[in-house]
Amino acid sequence: MDSWESSKIKEIEEKLNTDIKTGLDEQEAAKRLLENGKNELPTGKVTPWWVTFLHAFVEPLQLILMFAAVISIVAPVISRPGQPLGMHDFIDFIVIMMIVVVDAILETVQTVKARKSVDALKSLSKPKAVVLRNHNQKEIDAADLVVGDIVILEAGKYVPAELRIVQSADFMIDESILTGESVPVEKTHKAIAETKILAEKTNIAFMSTFTTAGRAVGIVIRTGLDTEIGKISQAIEKNEESQTPLEKKISKFGYVISCVAAVIGVLVFLLLSLVGGFEAWASYLMVAITLAIGIIPESLAAVISITLSFSTKRMAKNNVIVKKLASVETLGSVNVICTDKTGTLTQNKMTVKKVIENNKIVDAAEFVNTQLTKQKELLLKALVLPNDSITEGSERIGDPTELALVDYAELMGVDELIYRKKFERIDEIPFDSERKLMSTLNSVDSKKIAFTKGAIDQLLSICDHIMIEDKVIKLTESHKNEIMKASINLSDDALRVLAFAYKEVKNNKLEENGLTFVGAVAMIDPVRKEAVQAIEEAHAAGIEVCMITGDHAITALAIARDLGLAYEANQVISSDKLDTMSDEELNDVIDNIRVFARVNPEHKVKIVSTLQNKGYIVSMTGDGVNDAPSLSKADIGVAMGITGTDVAKQASDVILTDDNFATIMIGVNEGRNVYQKIKRAITLLMGFNLANVLSILIISLIFKISPLEATNILYINLIVESCLAIAIGMGPLDNTLMKLKPQVGKNGLLKGLILPIIKIGVLSALCSVGSFFIGMIATDVAAWNEIFKTTEKYSSINTENINSWLDQIYAIMNSKLSGIERIDLLDEYIAFGRTSMFITIVMSPLFFAHLIKLSNWKSSIKVKLLISKPLVYASLIAFVLSLGVILIPGLNDNVLGLVGYGKSATAHWTNNNIWVIFTAFSIAIVPFLLIILIDGIIFYSYHLSIANWQKNQKMLAEMINQDTKEQNKKRKR
């Protein structure tokens, strides 16, 4: 029997073989417990920290780096067979592995810090329940409840299982964690029509919801995983944790780079072997492997982790807690935000907005400041006397509607506790759903005054007088029509209207008739002002916002209008229509829907899935248990930190500690900047590596020798590159990115970067090659000729008619020396060229790294210069370190193979060749100047040389956009 809500009590007793008067006997309960299992939810699995740590090592880019580290040891063994390895041969391996380990540690620490140590679903299952067994009431563990048990519920308790109500007295339940409705729901024992909408199952008490008023008895109809909470638990488990867009892009980028590195290595080895002969294959293999490793950005993984880590810390200060590092970038990729209404877009606090006084609608804020009249004084008493809610400091106890009345009275200087003590309550008639009224009899200035509040139509039916302008007159049909017209207008704006009346009682008998209508108030859970601004920012950033709520469509549309989300009824769809739509039909209309009303948890998952299937990157925000499956399903789940349940937080990727929708946009801005910083770092690393590979390849093919040694490349990649790339990740935020459309998840990391990488690579490579040739001019040709003539080993080198270093190097290449001897000699001979090239390659990125902005330069002709202090400091540090390795004796010549001080007869610094250092440094500035020139020409051609028809198009688009904004504002009003 699935239609429990439409079944009569007797039918349920027969079906479940139980009795609401006696309950189950202990033997039958034990039997059912054994057959069906305990009434509890499964504990979520917690991944051990060491598994998270080890998992970080099997990511594609990390595997590539570890492979490169191993190759860095294997290469020297191959190139120098029989020779023992020295400590310097392990430097590359040690540094790369340190980068890999540091990245894994950062990932593990961030994950462990954000993880919850207890299972959230289990924490929601409260431990005790009062049941009727063998005619006796007893308290048992909620886990021992079985189907057919009779449970007694009282205010202030959690519902321990799913129950069909069989007895009720003014029974109210807060179901917001499940349905999203902000107002407690009155529950009845009467059978209702079968429905699939949870919020309309008014005779079912759902597990883990909270009772706020009254008393009830229910029969357990479902336990554990069979309950609505249990279904949500299973739905969360079924949602496999997928990779974030950034993780997918890094993985793809890793594969691309590994293929490129392998191809480069093979091609370089074959080219060098064909040009120089296979005799020196071991040395050529070393060059090829060095170049292959050189193209891999070893520091990228660390750069990404450090960039994300800095962003998560910065976001935490702005009330955004990120549970997974890569989720930061996902926020920046989002192009649809599906958001819960209550507490996220609204304040989750019912507030009086309008007052009906003298049959006219008055703004609540204006009414506060009006003169205190007899009529106003009576209304104030009516707000707080027939009212059981209490506010004291930060503590708020009672129904949200009654709390709103107390809050409004306090604005006019009324303290409910003082009033209730001063005007003692003598009698009362509690609220019930049939009358829709509540009345109290109070002692007011030696008189007995009855105050009644309730639904406006019900209240008017028991009134025969009305107070207008402090005068009591007979209530006419005309008065009633005026009041109801005002009430309908307020209801159309989704305001809840509550009316008030009074009468003087002579005989201490409280009766609800013959009342005098004094006024009414209209209230609503108002929107957050910051949410309105945040939605405007989202739209400007190309992000669509959809509101998903458990409220009725009329209420939802009214809120949506205030928020600037939707203005027409065709932009709203309710769950009853969703149920009748196929996936294809929903797919066709979902682009135009901005409000989803009266939804169940499964509807939220369906909405998110449909959007994802259309290629959107979807963020889902929520706070209730009912939001958990969709939070888990979304590309980025965002839970509320204050009102959010543990389940919602557990299922999410991001937690907002201030429950503010506007905070999401801070996260989006941070996410976009993270992605942009990573792309800037990749542009720097890949452009720089391309320059190294091109320059080394060109000179290697010309002179059959690598101009740079492995130690040179190692220093460049792991010191200069890493220092600058990490500093890019620590730079300031570029707020112009919020004017761009979101990044599409399917695009790779290299999208839009190919031209900047080629620009940097080609310009830097040409300057580096030029620097090599200029540096070779400092070679002492005469000294080398003398060495060739006096050294027997070099007797095959022809020194006749040699007047330049170029002639001399070709003489070495054409000599009869063995391949290894020729390479060893050339390696020593090109010391000045290597040093000059090394200086240029090391120094040039210290300048052009500041130009890799990739910012939204198309959006405005105004260029805002962002000075990154971390990048400035990193450039200075790299400059000092590089100057040190160039000038420090022993380090420059023995370790890096550069020109030193006097140890070499042919390559040492003198007054005649010191100019090489200054020339190489000057050449290093050339790429910086050329990039400024090229970018300036492109910027000028885009903004200042635009054709007239293009200008007109641009102006027309701006005018249309402005008109659209104005129309939306008018609709909103």
Q: What is the CATH number of the domain that holds 195?
A: 2.70.150.10
Q: What's the pLDDT tens digit per position in 924-955?
A: 999 999 988 888 887 777 666 655 445 556 65
496 and 570 housed in the same domain: no
Q: Is 413 inside any structural domain?
A: yes
Q: Is it the case that residue 335 has pLDDT exceeding 70? A: yes
What's phi and psi for 429, nearest 5 deg?
-120, 110
702 and 640 housed in the same domain: no
Q: Is 116 inside any structural domain?
A: no
Nearest by Cα to 276 from 763, 815, 718: 815
654 and 563 housed in the same domain: yes
Distances in whole angstroms, Cα of residue 452 to Cα of each of 170, 177, 826: 17, 32, 104
768 and 888 housed in the same domain: yes
Longest Cα separation, the chain: 136
What's phi and psi for 296, nearest 5 deg?
-80, 125
Of the residues 470, 503, 524, the one at which a domain ends: 524
pLDDT grade for 125, boundaries at 50, 70 and 90: very low
696 and 791 housed in the same domain: yes
DSSP per-residue letters across 132-183? EETTEEEEEEGGG--TT-EEEEETT-B--SEEEEEEEEEEEEE-HHHH--SS
355 and 454 housed in the same domain: yes
517 and 602 housed in the same domain: no
623 and 761 housed in the same domain: no
Q: Is 195 inside any structural domain?
A: yes
Q: Is 265 inside any structural domain?
A: no
Q: What's the pLDDT tens digit per position in 416-442?
A: 999 999 999 999 998 877 788 999 999
Q: Is 604 inside any structural domain?
A: yes
Q: Is 872 inside any structural domain?
A: yes
pLDDT grade for 112, boundaries at 50, 70 and 90: low
642 and 705 housed in the same domain: no
pLDDT grade for 286, boundaries at 50, 70 and 90: low
Name the residue range of residue 924's domain: 299-308+674-731+751-946
Of the residues 463, 491, 524, the one at which a domain ends: 524
Which range has the worst mean pLDDT, 263-277, 306-320, 505-519? 263-277
Q: What is the CATH number of the domain that holds 609?
A: 3.40.50.1000
Q: Is it the case that residue 250 has pLDDT exceeding 80? A: no
Max mean pLDDT among 37-41, 878-882, 969-973 falls in 878-882
506 and 545 housed in the same domain: no
Q: What's the pLDDT tens digit per position in 62-111?
A: 776 677 677 667 766 765 566 676 666 676 677 667 767 876 776 677 56
Give catalytic residue positions: 340
Helices (H), 204-360: 228-238, 245-276, 281-295, 300-317, 327-333
Identify which has the larger pLDDT, 528 or 355. 355
Which range has the worst mean pLDDT, 276-285, 543-552, 568-577, 628-637? 276-285
Instruction: Give the per-residue pLDDT at 235.
Output: 66
Q: What's the pLDDT tens digit per position in 178-195?
A: 776 656 788 888 888 888
Instruction: Give the per-residue pLDDT at 390.
Output: 84
Q: Which amino acid is at 683?
A: T
Instruction: Give the per-residue pLDDT at 682.
Output: 87
Residue with tokens 């080394």: 696
Q: Is 441 inside any structural domain?
A: yes
Q: What is the CATH number of the domain that holds 512?
A: 3.40.1110.10
Residue with tokens 């130690």: 711
Of the residues 495, 524, 553, the one at which a domain ends: 524
642 and 617 housed in the same domain: yes
Which range has the worst mean pLDDT, 68-72, 241-245, 630-634, 767-771? 241-245
Residues 845/685, Cβ–Cβ less than 8 Å = no
Instruction: Give the per-residue pLDDT at 117.
Output: 32
131 and 167 housed in the same domain: yes
As a whole number, mean pLDDT of residues 784-789 equals 86
Percent of the chain past pLDDT 90, that is, above it, reads: 24
Q: Is 109 inside any structural domain?
A: no
Percent of the chain past pLDDT 70, that is, above it, reads: 83
Determine the Cα–Cα distance for residues 378 and 502; give it in Å rounded to an integer.
8
As a whole number, mean pLDDT of residues 349-371 equals 93
Number of domains in the chain: 4
